[in-house]
């Protein structure tokens, strides 16, 4: 289960990295929004779904551990946001 959680966390980190790169290109700062980012975002999402499908289908990693790893980064961000919101 630990290996599945590690792979899930790695996939989540890479996913957030690509989200940041796509959004940086979408909003260059000149007040315009580039429409190409929608296609990039959809392709990234489809790639993520395909990658998770292949990982689960291969059977090399525990599916529960993979889901735990995928959710840990998101839960960390939510908890950090909550703790910062209560600090004044």
Q: Where are the domains positioned within the chain?
A: 2-86
pTM: 0.71
- The 3-state DSSP composition of the chain as helix, strand, coil percent (nearest 5) reads 80, 0, 20
- Burial letters 22-52, b for 16+ CB under 10 A, else e: beeebeeeeeeeeeebeebeeebeeebeeeb
Q: What is the C-alpha separation between 53 and 30, in angstroms, rounded?
A: 38
Lowest mean pLDDT among 2-11, 26-35, 71-80: 26-35
What is the tens place of the pLDDT at every residue in 32-82? 666 787 888 888 889 989 988 988 888 888 888 888 888 887 788 888 888
Retrieve residue 35's tokens: 């429409």
């Amino acid at each position: 289960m630990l290996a599945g959680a590690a792979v899930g966390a790695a996939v989540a980190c890479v996913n957030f990295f690509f989200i940041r790169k796509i959004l940086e290109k979408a909003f260059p700062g000149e007040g315009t929004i580039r429409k190409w980012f929608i296609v990039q975002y959809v392709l990234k999402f489809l790639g993520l779904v395909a990658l998770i499908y292949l990982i689960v289908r291969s059977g090399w990693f525990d599916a529960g551990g993979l889901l735990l790893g995928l959710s840990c980064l998101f839960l960390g961000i939510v908890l950090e946001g909550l703790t910062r919101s209560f600090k004044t």
